[in-house]
Structure 1
Amino acid sequence: MSDELLSMFLDKEGEFLSGEAISKELNVSRTAVWKKIRKLEEQGYLFEASRKLGYKLISVPDRLSAIGMRSVLGTDRFGRQLHLYEAVDSTQTVLRKLAEEGAPEGTLVIAEQQLQGRGRMGRTWESPKGKGIWMSLLLRPNLAIHYSPQLTLLIAVALCRSLRQSTGLPIGIKWPNDLLVERKKISGILLESTAEEERLNYILAGIGISVNLEEEDYPAELLDKAISLRMLLGRKLDRTTLIAHFLKELEHLYDIYLREGFASVRTLWEALAVSLHQRVTLTTPQGVIEGVPVGLEENGALLVQLDDGQLKPVFSAEMGLPDSVS
């Protein structure tokens, strides 16, 4: 009943709802309505009460909710199956179990806090409670396994475009999928996949966005490398809106990609990249490479021009950017 009651107030935002009208709609007593409103207040919701007019929702807590998310979703599939947690070890771990149980494409796992968040190259990811967006999305594309690098780039494009539109910040992509502002990281993406007979079975797309973190939320050693949207803009942002905007953009680009291939994604990625046409250092499993990235290959590899003029495709590496990158 709490969900139904909250939905009524969200649908009538800024309006009073009488206790009598609520009790009739929910088929419960007015005492039960009063108790549920008290329960919502304990969770951080603020109401104005009037003997004549009833109750009006004044503000909602800074926490994610399934009702709030579904009220703003503009997608057909992505995020419609939603699993929301207060705290988990990792959203990737939770989603993997759901995927193995047959969860449909578009299933989304979100946590207010990750206790063992993971990044690329086995790194940990700082995921303080209620400050960021820590989520994993399930994809089930009917593709060969060698196409998975393209999906990493696709998700980076969708996230970068949606956050640029939402914030107005000059966000860029550092190959393959880190999002930067002023040379500092605001978001990371981790894709994990399973395959059978060289075909992708499913992909777990883990996405972390540093939304409302403050300086004290970061370990000292990360302050020169990472930053949040709040620190950049000087104000808090609504996480629900950011998630909904990203999911809509991703679903749109994903469907185009499945119909038309990688060409349009490659063009968009190259336009948003901060790591093209300038000298970089790439630390690969085979050793260190220095050169100038000039674009993407059709398979999603980064094409790097070496000092001898040779063009070398790179699939996996840690990139070091020059000081001139903004």
Structure 2
Amino acid sequence: MKALFYKTVDSTQSVVVREMERGADVPLFVLAEEQTTGRGRKGQPWVGARAQNVYLSAGFHPLLTPTAMQPFTLRMGLAICRAINANLGVLLQLKWPNDLYFEGQKVGGMLAESVIREGLIADLIFGIGLNVNQTTFPSLESRPISLAQILGKPLELKHVAESLMQTIFEAYNNFIAAPDAEWTDEWAELDYLCGKNIIMLVDNTTLVGTAQGVTPLGELRVATPNDIVLVRAGTFVKIE
């Protein structure tokens, strides 16, 4: 397991992409103290303080079909959430599809990007941004919070990063060994959205309903007055 450490990068995701294009061995981990153009889901910018949080990406060659890989990010999030809870004695939850929450506030987010060749996902780049020691945030739109704020004390950033890398490494190997393994029951135990009334934009259409967990393929189940809708991607407008 190779790891590269940087003071400042444009994006840890981009560094992994460039290294893999050069033929770097995998698994490859890239960790940075600061990102100048970090990105999250749907190209949204990920902004965080220097040397206070974990900015981490990992590169793999899964060689599985896109369908088989569909629940990958959710299963990785589940493994990470469970590990953080066990190691730190906190109770983080999972907000579909890729966020870590604590009592309605965002602690971290994940992103998976891939390259498909001959019908298989040949290159996979998985990234996570985790608020660790930051206590002030430039934007409060996502109601951010850090582990230090939750615990009331700063954490050793190096230890948190090393633990995350090990968790990601093990979770990836577990996924590749058993991509069809059952995981939704464990997700249900940490599901932030389940039972909440939501409004979403899905394919430019407004969806109103109640979140009712996830499917084995990672789709969000939304109960509407007339049906159960399975959502693969969407943007939340309101959660209550």
Partner of residue 276, structure 1: 194
Within the candidate set 106, 109, 128, 1:207 is matched to 128
Question: 1:280 touches 1:322 (CA, 8 Å); kept in 2?
Answer: yes
Counterpart of 2:184, as a letter, is R
* 2:134 alignment partner, SS class: coil
CA distance in 1, matches of 2:60, 2:209: 34
Q: TM-score under structure 2 normalisation?
A: 0.92
More off after superposition, 148-157 vs 184-193: 148-157
* 1:189 alignment partner, SS class: strand
Is residue 148 of structure 2 the alignment partner of residue 230 of structure 1?
A: yes
- Residue by residue over 1:241-274, the C-alpha shift from the partner in whole angstroms, topping out at 9 and shown as x without a partner, is 2222223333333333223333333332222111
CA distance in 2, matches of 1:159, 1:242: 11
Within the candidate set 178, 190, 201, 1:260 is matched to 178
CA distance in 2, matches of 1:103, 1:267: 37
The RMSD of aligned alpha carbons is 1.8
Question: 1:257 touches 1:264 (CA, 8 Å); kept in 2?
Answer: no
Partner of residue 244, structure 1: 162
Counterpart of 2:95, as a letter, is K
Q: Which has the higher contact order (CA 8 A, sep 6+)?
A: 2
Counterpart of 2:157, as a letter, is R
CA distance in 2, matches of 1:270, 1:319: 19
CA distance in 2, matches of 1:321, 1:286: 15
Partner of residue 316, structure 1: 233
Report runs of 4+ in structure 1 exceeding 4 Å deviation.
none
* Unpaired stretches in structure 2, ≥5 consecutive residues: none
Question: Displacement, 1:227?
Answer: 0.9
Structure in which a larger fraction of residues adopt helix: 1
Question: 2:197 touches 2:239 (CA, 8 Å); kept in 1?
Answer: yes
Which of the pair has more CA radius of gyration?
Answer: 1
- Residue by residue over 1:115-174, the C-alpha shift from the partner in whole angstroms, topping out at 9 and shown as x without a partner, is 111111222111221100001111211210233331111121122112112221210000
Q: TM-score under structure 1 normalisation?
A: 0.69
Within the candidate set 198, 223, 227, 1:305 is matched to 223
What is the total number of aligned residue pairs between the two structures? 240
Partner of residue 5, structure 1: none
Structure in which a larger fraction of residues adopt strand: 2
CA distance in 2, matches of 1:131, 1:246: 15
Partner of residue 139, structure 1: 60
Percent identity reads 27
Partner of residue 110, structure 1: 31
Question: Displacement, 1:288?
Answer: 1.6
CA distance change for structure 1 residues 96 and 257 in 2, over 3 Å: closer, same or farther?
same
Question: Displacement, 1:223?
Answer: 6.7
CA distance change for structure 1 residues 250 and 197 in 2, over 3 Å: closer, same or farther?
same
CA distance change for structure 1 residues 94 and 224 in 2, over 3 Å: closer, same or farther?
closer
CA distance in 1, matches of 2:31, 2:170: 21
Within the candidate set 80, 83, 88, 2:4 is matched to 83
Is residue 20 of structure 2 the alignment partner of residue 99 of structure 1?
A: yes
